[in-house]
Chains A and B, each alone.
Chain A
Amino acid sequence: MIYFQPYENPMYFGVLFIALIPIIVLILNGRRSKIYESIISIFFLFLTFGGPSWNQGVALIIYTIYETVLTFAYSAYRKKANKSWIFYLAVFLAVLPLTLVKISTATHDQVQTLIGFLGISYLTFRVVQTIMETRDGVIKNLNLITFLQFLLFFPTISSGPIDRYRRFEKDYNRVPKQDEYLEMLKKGIHYIFIGFLYKFILAYITGTLMLPELKTMAMAQRGNFLGLSWPLLGVMYVYSADLFFDFAGYSLFAVGTSHILGINTPMNFNRPWQSLNIKDFWNRWHMSLSFWFRDYIYMRLLFMFMKKKTFKSRITAANVTYVLNMLIMGFWHGLTWYYITYGLFHGLAIVINDAWLRFKKKHQEQIPHNQFTKYFAIFLTANIVCFSFLIFSGFLNQLWFSPVTTPKPHVKLK
């Protein structure tokens, strides 16, 4: 039997394409077989979570049952009553497995291997969002099969993009018209091929060919003040490029495959390197994640602060919420100093950015605004982002704190 990580090699795409042919034919004929789609979903989940990763598969099944019971229990409760503490409890319970995994990853104990699996974060985002919208009353009737398909949608299971239940449901319960679907197919194939360029060529050049060399060169100069060196600057840019090509490539595969399945999964990247400022950047980078944080953390926190009048000024409330929001995102990435610093860095960057925008608005006449300032803004933003990715990469941790490697005579690998 053959097992794959999603989109890892040409063979995966071969199997994927063959599995998709019946779906393409059916949709072109104006039909959708939910049974076949479910079988395909289970088949691909099995390819990822079976065999050598079977323990992750077990964790996935238990997790899915747990979250489904929780979500449906809350949905049933919400039809009768709407107590805040029940809602908070439901969210707490939904996030609990992910929290345990994150803590155990940081403390290196065994919980991670017991309850963790590839994509647990993204499933949790989907569950929490469903519970929140159930509370808001916008999701009224949950359908079990649709919910499971939404939660376990195989093209996006390991790293998103994070779809919304209502949006997914709408696509899932209708068959696109022939012309519309041909358009989706065209886009889907186009995305997948751009993904090949990103992931298998550009991410290979940056991540496999360049980055290890640069890291070795930078490590060789760790004796410098703070380990600063030219190769370190190279690590910063090349890591940033690699992160983008790798993740954007993966996202293109996920979105492209979704399109072929007749589901308009939202895009994850929109030319992030052309961002004019940090806020603009977060509207273009890993969009489904940043919009999730915006809608379910930022907006809700801000609303709560305003309602309770925690802060005197609107601006202070917004600033505190920005920092909290990004800090939570940092914690979500993992409980290490560099992820948390990364979150804090972006929170503060947005605060500064906002202050600058207010200042600019007040002094519109004095501050020039032309092509040059536009390109300067793009350049500055890209560099600030790359610096934040250097923090995020954890390489500084290795550079500053890792022990000097022991030259064991028989350890001969790079």
Chain B
Amino acid sequence: MFKKLFKIFGPIICAAILVFLLLISPLNFGFGHINKNVQKDAATSLEAKVVKGKEVKEQALNDNYVAFFGSSEWSRFDPMHPSVLAQKYDRSYRPFLLGAKGTQSLVQFLTMQTVTKQLKNKKAVFSISPQWFVPEGAKLDAFNYYFSPLQATEWILNEHNSTMDRYIAKRFYEMLNSSKDPILRQSFKDVSEGKDLSNFEKSYLKLRHRILLKEDRFFSTLFISKKNQLKIRKCEKQLPNNYDYNKLYDLAGQLGRKQTSNNKFGISDKFYRKQIKKRVKQLKGFQKDETFTKSPEYSDFEAALEMFARNNTDVIFVLPPVNAKWQKYTGLSQKEIQNAVTKLKFQLNSQGFHHIVDLSNDGDIPYFMTDTIHLGWRGWLYFDSAVRPFLENEQKKPNYHINEQFYSSSWQNAMVSQIKNFK
């Protein structure tokens, strides 16, 4: 009987032991090294697995890549896109695009966890959309889609009961799907209440972290999409051989004009045809009541800022506009956007984040936006002309002083007239 039983269960037990040993062993089996081409694809692929992983980003940022935090804007590739310009004109830096549809401050905070060493005393770019700052805050489904247990365990094993840690733990506990990793979720609850992690939680999280790290090393570089790299190469071909701002500005205008012929909003033809044309009537005035002044996102954003401050990362913040013609049509109030911008600038400046590129009033420049809310052609060129000197030239060492009031609900809900109280 035992012989037969061994025949049935033996292979499973052996396989289980081998997999376990493989996952916790210190050896990398040659998976540690990442090919430069894979790095290049990963920097522009915008895939969730890149956002959620570690190894690829770590190695790229150790090279000449610079972290570009943001969201869906990065997917608007045209010849003036920062990745295209950096590649074409062989700049000293290459953007590593972090973010895609739906990544907001909480996801950015998580993304930073696995590359803290690489952010230390380095530069970074952060594109921040006022549209994130809606009253309900980050979307649950987007958060859960981008939530990376690897990054979360990395953070929680390093937390030390600061206001930021408790705030983040509370947010993660609220946002994370209850069916996902119950022990990790319980440890969020403990940290949010200021408790120490239990020994069981600690050893579980350490083991889990170790296994996730290994999984990331083995699998995260497989099947990275080359789609965007191919788009970039096509875009590169349309650019003149030497960088000349005025020439590029004209080219941006020509390209924009050619590609926005089927609508009166200056939205690119393809986007308009696919997303708007059929419902254009219903969309009139649909954003009349949008507000961006009260949102938990302000505190989520603060956590991202504190991470930058802890690592002494020199960050340039870009605040893009909304397509002005479209904005007028949907009734979105420019005053609301400006309120959010004022609040954000206050939050940044008062804590020592002084590199701010405010494009929020430029949505009416022709061919500035490629669609409703995303930069394109001339917008990208403006972006580049601010970001490039920041990255290429030596900057004064930043001096940050974090103000924990920005984690409070009174800041989240503060009106513009009240911001002076948060000095």
Residues of A at the B interface (CB closer than 8 Å) are 1-3, 28, 51-52, 178, 182, 185-186, 189, 193, 220, 403-414
Contact = CB atoms under 8 A, between A and B. Distances in A.
B276 interface: yes
A403 B278 CA distance: 9
Given A189-B9, A404-B279, 12 more contacts: A28-B1, A52-B179, A189-B12, A405-B275, A406-B286, A407-B283, A409-B332, A410-B131, A410-B134, A412-B102, A413-B145, A414-B101
Nearest to B274: A220
B182 A1 contact: yes
Contact of A189 (B8, B179, B332): B8
A3 B180 CA distance: 10
A403 B1 contact: no
A52 B372 contact: no
Contacts of A408: 286
State the majority secondary structure of interface residues on A: loop
A409 B322 contact: yes
A182 B4 contact: yes
A109 B278 CA distance: 30
Nearest to A411: B139
A378 B359 CA distance: 62
Contact of B139 (A2, A404, A413): A413
Interface in B113-155: 131-132, 134, 139, 141-142, 145
Given A189-B9, A403-B279, A406-B279, A413 B1 contact: no
Contacts of B1: 28, 178, 182
Contacts of A178: 1
A15 B12 CA distance: 16
Contacts of B5: 28, 182, 185
Interface of B: 1, 4-5, 7-9, 12, 71-72, 101-103, 131-132, 134, 139, 141-142, 145, 178-179, 182, 274-279, 282-283, 286-287, 322, 332, 372-373
Contacts of A3: 179
B102 A407 contact: no
B133 to A, nearest CB: 9
Contacts of B283: 406-407
Contacts of B7: 186
Contacts, number: 63
A413 B372 CA distance: 16
A412 B372 CA distance: 13
A413 B9 CA distance: 44
State the majority secondary structure of interface residues on B: helix
Nearest to B141: A413
Contacts of A405: 275
Contact of B8 (A52, A186, A409): A186
A414 B276 CA distance: 16
Contact of B71 (A2, A404, A407, A412): A412
Contact of B282 (A2, A28, A406, A412): A406
Given A413-B101, A413-B139, A413-B141, A407 B8 contact: no
Contact of B182 (A2, A182, A186, A412): A2
A401 to B, nearest CB: 13
Nearest to B280: A404
A405 B372 CA distance: 14
A407 B8 CA distance: 55
Contacts of B8: 182, 185-186, 189
Nearest to B279: A404
A413 B102 CA distance: 5
25 contacts: A2-B182, A28-B1, A28-B5, A52-B178, A182-B4, A182-B5, A182-B8, A193-B12, A404-B277, A406-B283, A406-B286, A407-B275, A407-B276, A407-B283, A407-B372, A408-B286, A409-B287, A409-B322, A409-B332, A409-B372, A411-B139, A412-B102, A412-B139, A413-B101, A414-B101
B9 A412 contact: no
A185 B372 CA distance: 60
A308 B102 CA distance: 64
Nearest to B2: A28
A185 B6 CA distance: 12
Nearest to A3: B179
A410 B1 CA distance: 63
Contacts of A403: 279
A241 B186 CA distance: 38
B339 to A, nearest CB: 16
A5 B293 CA distance: 40
Given A28-B1, A185-B8, A414-B101, A409 B373 contact: yes
A178 B5 CA distance: 11
Contacts of B373: 409
Interface centre among A406, A412, A413 (most CB of B within 10 A): A412
B129 to A, nearest CB: 8
Interface centre among B134, B179, B275 (most CB of A within 10 A): B179
Nearest to A2: B182
B134 A404 contact: no
Nearest to A220: B274
Contacts of B71: 412
Given A3-B179, A182-B4, A412 B101 contact: yes
A189 B6 CA distance: 12
